[in-house]
């Protein structure tokens, strides 16, 4: 069968999303070089198989995966999609907020799965991974010269940190890992980093990657996740601690890649610290800002 195709986008690893069209059918494919991408794309395909039943409107439906000497290709049921982050960057704050709520509701669906005892054990073991990452930061670096208030907040609270909700994490959730369909529905890109852990961790990358530029959209994600009810206090406490950990560990991991990335990660880590006022308050200041309050009010007024 002859297939026509057009490029849709590339992911952070250089793998390409393609829209494929045959004589009678359309598909969406993810393709990358077999030598470096086979394992990653295989996990991405598997993630869609795992999560599709939980949120069928927000997860691509996996059809097949195959490799030849050059490429690994995962094929999904067709969706007419574009980049969600690009869309968010050109719309008004109240529309950013309302579209963020769509994504928050989708994430909540993913987290509705009930874990068995073995899966809960694996979710609890995720805490050991986090402790290891902290140890790596302290021993390997690079160390940030603004680390003191962040480390103090972590040390004072991590032993009393309780799991908010043990779940199957989707992994890697941020706005550039989401598609938007032609009809306005959000579709999460297949994830190679899914696993078990605390539900909060699926929301932390929005603080690390997106809150500085799109606070209204991130506020919408959190409000959508909780279905419009007041966000629980214990969520905010856990969220702040995870953000503190990421402000050191994840930023340091990325900073090792290049001098340019180190400069960007230092600025990002400082911005996260400032969002929580030196981690003296659990609710980030952007969530409490006038901009977000106005966006919420306008969204409610328009019934969005």
Number of Cβ within 10 Å of residue 116's Cβ equals 8
Residues 160 and 20 in one domain: no
pLDDT at 120: 94
- CATH assignment at residue 188: 3.90.1200.10
pLDDT band, residue 221 (cuts 50/70/90): very high
Given this model, what pLDDT does residue 114 score? 87
- 145 and 289 inside one domain: yes
For the cut 50, the answer to whether the pLDDT of residue 1 exceeds it is: no
pLDDT confidence bin for 117, thresholds 50/70/90: very high
pLDDT surpassing 60 at residue 42: yes
75 and 88 inside one domain: no
- C-alpha 211/C-alpha 284 separation (Å) is 10
| Residue where a domain terminates, one of 47, 79, 111 | 79
CATH number of the structural domain spanning residue 48: 3.30.200.20
pLDDT band at 3 (very low <50, low <70, confident <90, very high): low
In this predicted structure, the answer to whether residue 53 has a pLDDT above a threshold of 80 is yes
The per-residue pLDDT for 23 is: 59
For 157-216, the pLDDT digits (tens) are 877 677 889 999 999 999 999 999 999 999 999 999 999 999 999 999 999 999 999 999
Residues 109 and 218 in one domain: yes
Residue 233's pLDDT is what?
A: 93
130 shares its domain with 25: no
Are residues 156 and 287 both part of a single domain? yes
How many whole angstroms separate alpha carbon 125 and alpha carbon 281?
28
Both tokens of 133, joined, read 């990452």
Contacts of 279 (CB under 8 A, 6+ apart): 149, 150, 152, 153, 240, 244, 273
Which of 54, 79, 104 is the C-terminal boundary of a domain? 79
Output the pLDDT for position 25.
77
Distance between CA atoms of 192 and 5, rounded to whole angstroms?
24
What is the per-residue pLDDT for 2? Answer: 47
219 and 148 share a domain? yes
State whether 27 and 71 are in the same domain. Answer: yes
The pLDDT mean for the chain works out to 93
Q: What percentage of the chain has pLDDT greater than the value 90?
A: 85
Q: Which of 28, 55, 79 is the last residue of a domain?
A: 79
Residues 66 and 140 in one domain: no
For the chain, what is the domain count?
A: 2
Q: In which element (H, E) is residue 9 found?
A: strand 4-10
pTM of the model: 0.93
Per-residue pLDDT tens over the stretch 8-26: 998 888 899 999 886 567 8
**223 and 127 together in one domain:** yes
Average confidence (pLDDT) over 107-133: 92
Structural domain boundaries enclosing 101: 83-301
Q: What angle do CA 217, 218, 223 make, to 5 degrees?
A: 95
Let me know whether 177 and 109 are in one domain: yes
Same domain, 269 and 217: yes
């Amino acid at each position: 069968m002859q297939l026509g195709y057009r490029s849709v986008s590339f992911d952070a690893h250089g793998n390409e999303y393609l829209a494929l069209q045959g004589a009678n059918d359309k598909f969406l494919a993810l393709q990358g070089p077999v030598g470096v991408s086979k394992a990653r794309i295989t996990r991405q395909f598997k993630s869609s198989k795992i999560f599709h039943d939980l949120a069928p409107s927000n997860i691509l439906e996996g059809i097949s995966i195959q490799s030849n000497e050059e490429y690994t290709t995962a094929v999904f049921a067709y969706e007419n999609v574009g980049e969600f982050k690009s869309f968010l960057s050109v719309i008004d704050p109240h529309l950013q907020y309302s579209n963020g709520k769509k994504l928050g509701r989708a994430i909540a669906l993913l987290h509705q799965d009930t874990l068995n005892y073995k899966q809960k054990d694996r979710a609890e073991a995720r805490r050991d991974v986090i402790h290891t990452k902290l140890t790596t930061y302290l021993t390997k670096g690079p160390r940030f010269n603004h680390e003191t208030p962040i480390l103090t907040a972590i040390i004072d609270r991590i032993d009393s940190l309780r799991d908010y909700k043990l779940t199957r994490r989707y992994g890697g959730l941020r706005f550039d890992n989401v598609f938007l369909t032609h009809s306005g529905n959000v579709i999460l890109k297949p994830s190679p980093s899914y696993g078990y852990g605390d539900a909060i961790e699926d929301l932390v990358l929005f603080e690390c990657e997106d809150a500085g530029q799109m606070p209204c959209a991130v506020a919408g994600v959190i409000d959508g996740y909780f279905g419009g009810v007041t966000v629980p206090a214990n969520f905010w406490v856990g969220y702040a601690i995870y953000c503190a950990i990421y402000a050191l560990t994840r930023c340091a991991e990325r900073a090792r890649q290049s001098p340019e990335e180190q400069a960007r990660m230092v600025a990002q880590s400082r911005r996260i610290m400032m969002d929580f006022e030196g981690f003296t308050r659990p609710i980030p200041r952007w969530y409490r800002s006038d901009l977000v309050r106005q966006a919420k009010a306008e969204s409610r007024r328009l019934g969005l």
